[in-house]
Amino acid sequence: MNSRPARNELLQWERNDKGEAQIKVTRQETWKVRLLSKLFYVPKDRTITLDEVGSEVWQMCNGQTSVAQMIDSLKDKYKLDRKEAEVSLLSYLKTLGQKRFVGFLLEAEEKSKSGGRGPGGDSASGKRW
């Protein structure tokens, strides 16, 4: 709950006139993708548009807001009980993490408590993914 989601800096995104976040995803150029693109049409870029709640969560994934703060914000704005907001948010963040749209920053002191470097490596700020 103390981790802080951060958007993948390699993704380009913008807000449309409705306030929805639009994420531009570029196709990877691996041998598997090249093979599939010869058999099927695979676009080079695609745009994913998030709904109102998804866009708000995306905006909060700034590396500064903790998951607990995000839960409180959603709970208050959408009049949910804490458990509903927590389950929904954690499920959504898990999906964003699996798609590598977001990563989760941990404090340097949490790293030292866990006994060393994680597989994500450290950044220059002493935080790690």
18-60 residue pLDDT tens: 989 999 988 778 888 788 888 888 788 889 999 999 999 999 9
pLDDT higher than 70, residue 112: no
Residue 39 belongs to a domain = yes
pLDDT at 109 over 50: no
Q: Is the pLDDT assigned to residue 11 strictly greater than 50?
A: yes
Number of domains in the chain: 1
Angstrom distance (rounded) from CA 99 to CA 95: 6
The boundaries of the domain holding residue 24 are 4-114
- Here the CATH number for the domain that contains residue 102 is 1.10.10
In a domain, 128, yes or no: no
> Is 37 part of a structural domain of the chain?
yes
What is the rounded CA–CA span in Å between residue 38 and residue 55? 34
Domain contains 108: yes
> Does the pLDDT value for residue 116 go beyond 50?
no
Tell me, yes or no, whether 125 lies in a domain.
no
Q: Is residue 120 part of a domain?
A: no
Instruction: Please tell me the predicted confidence (pLDDT) of residue 42.
Output: 74
CB 106 within 8 A of CB 127: yes
Neighbour tally for 55: CB within 10 Å: 20
Domain-located, residue 40: yes
pTM above 0.75, yes or no: no
